[in-house]
Structure 1
Amino acid sequence: MIIVTGGAGFIGSNIVCGLNARGYTDILVVDDLSDGRKCLNLADTDIHDYMDKDDFLARLQTGEDFGKVEAVFHEGACSATTEWDGRFVMKVNYEYTKALLAWCVARKVPLIYASSASVYGMGPTFREARSYERPLNMYAYSKFLFDCHLRPQLENLESQVVGLRYFNVYGPREQHKGSMASVAFHFHNQLNESGRVRLFEGSDGYGPGEQRRDFIHVDDVVAVNLWLLENPAVKGIFNLGTGRAQSFNDVARAAIRWGKAHGTEGGGIDYIPFPDHLRGRYQSFTEADMDALRKAGYDRPFMDVETGVPRYLDWLAARS
């Protein structure tokens, strides 16, 4: 059996799809379906069972076994960077992951978990070292603190534990995330509604729409997760981006080109005032240093936005 927490969410459901594509169906999905719309992410997948996240945690804490578990992909978390209820975030993200780590280590079950590039704060260096980490919100702090909890243990662990610091992930099965969905998703909706997309004006010395992020397609994220499943000797905390920052304008232009090729009228960009509440808390630049993952043996290329955005919008269009 393979366990995927957050398995009805964005990245988790894509991992389930990737496992299905490789013939795995003995999958336990763990999630919180208070928002029942997330079930649509699993409607075309094959799994063995589903369990609520609180029930799963209770069973972990009593030391229950789940039969032979080949690996755990831990994608479940409160992912809202705007959530400031620190007690809630630390319970759901930090304490939960500590309990899962203890359970996996005791049974030598590989654990591959979602960390976040948000641990680096404003950057400008995005390398897996304590000197470059300065989280700016509760979500980032919860991810950072678990990475700090893991680091002293890594050398002595007898089983695989890997933290992946996701950069700006976009792609299928994120529609339930609302405002937290990727800009590619929002651009698609904006083009359908008005034929135009909206971007922030300049900030932190960047021109309008020229803020730059490391945008990575979820298919590439899944490919790395499954590569780790096949390479259990790899342990550690790794960045997961493309290694190349691209501007929001690049994403917008890729979406506009796709729209024009599919008959969308217009195709302009409107620049809106930069929100005051984001000043000093907005990553205007991110770019993953990918040396560590490459040195660990991952050598496949990553999609740029010119390739990945049309691929994603084709998927959205086929389901609209």
Structure 2
Amino acid sequence: MTLPVVVGVDGSDSSLRAIDGAADQAALHRLPLRLVHASLWERYEGPAASTQSAEAAFEHRLVQEILDHATDRVRGSHPGVNVASEIVPEDAQAALLREARRAAAVVTGCRGRGPITGALLGSVSRSLVMRAPCPVVVVRHPLRNLPGDRSIVVGVGGTTSSIAAVHFAFREAEARRCPLHVVRAWHRPAHRLQAHPLLVGSPAHEQEEQAAALLEDALHEAERAYPGVPVHRVVTEGTALSVLLTHAAAAGLLVLGSPRRRGPLRLPLKGLAHTVLQHADCPVAVVPAVLARERV
């Protein structure tokens, strides 16, 4: 079974950016594209209702026009992509989480509120990143076509949470025929202990060596599986946030792993991932640690 790339459609500028990113992803991997508009109007006063109100009928026509426009947009830019659309009688969050169960990836925009719109992660995007069982690609800005943005950057955290993200990044780099930058940050110990006269090597050097070893562990399997991908190892002193944002500034995609748990209790979206999603200058893919083989 070929799983589609799924994107939520609501007619906003953020949605249009997500549609463009999703179409690129579908074309790149030769996957179908599924456009989904979630509308609670359809649940209560759908087109099959015998007593459909004029307001509900207008809403349905408006939604259909939004989907038709999105479909035409994809067919105009990517005529080879098999695109389908559907109006789903649910709220957007529930609909896209359900769609994510049978998607190769979900692509979403990022909408904020108030005077700093675009700097805040929208509630639907936040929920998808926290809970979706497939990779979620968040597109904050219009897709660029700069000379340096064909590279892909993947951040390596804990080995367990990074393996799926690293494999995803290698697949993307292979499909895009671009180099992959594998990044691991390290920092000096906050308090340096008094050195023993029989011990050699500085704490900082030990931290750097540990970071390099962890990066090699994360690369071991993927590098053998994708021998044609040019890999640049980056082991840099600094905070993970600053290192990732610096390398993402000229990249086409930043990939992060997510150590999600199964069941109703999920890890909160906070700290590094949340801040990266708010400020990265390129699309960000968040990949759950447990990822089915057939997904993108």
- The question of a shared fold, defined as TM-score above 0.5 by the shorter chain, is answered with no
Tell which structure's C-alpha radius of gyration is larger.
2
